[in-house]
Amino acid sequence: MLKKIEHVGIMVKDLDVSIDFYTNVLGLKLKERITTADGNMKIAFITIGESELELLCPKHGDVPGSQGVIAHLAFTVDDIEKVVDSLRGKAELIDETPREALDGCKIFFFKGPDGEILELFQPRS
């Protein structure tokens, strides 16, 4: 059956801007950058733990709006306040401060460069 999330694909308008955001702002690592054989799609794989983000950029930056939409992508963190402080001025923040969720964990929402909604998740201690 299902074992883990292999990757999450995110359509982006500018691959360089998105690579910069995910690597320099969020501290993830660029694994690979490729262009499809027909030249119509540039792709970057960003590693996070055992999973990956697949950033997909159409040749002309035309991000189709008719494809499925991911509600949000959540990242587990150890110190949510520290990560939030590092995002100030570098990302569009949705929340002002981290907040407690139903089971005592802390969450915080912000946006990536193409408006994708991202969540920080700190498990209950």
Domain residue limits, the chain? 1-60, 72-125
- What Cα–Cα distance (Å) separates residue 57 from each residue in 2, 44, 48, 52? 28, 9, 20, 16
Indicate the DSSP class of residue 24: I
How many helices (H) and strands (E) are present in the chain, helices listed first?
A: 2, 9
Q: What is the mean pLDDT of residues 38-50?
A: 91
pTM of the model: 0.81
CATH number, span 1-60 = 3.10.180.10
Does 1 have pLDDT greater than 80? Answer: no
How far is residue 119's CA from residue 94's CA, in Å, rounded to a whole number?
A: 10
Does 93 have pLDDT greater than 90? Answer: yes
Homologous superfamily in CATH for domain 72-125: 2,3-Dihydroxybiphenyl 1,2-Dioxygenase, domain 1 (3.10.180.10)
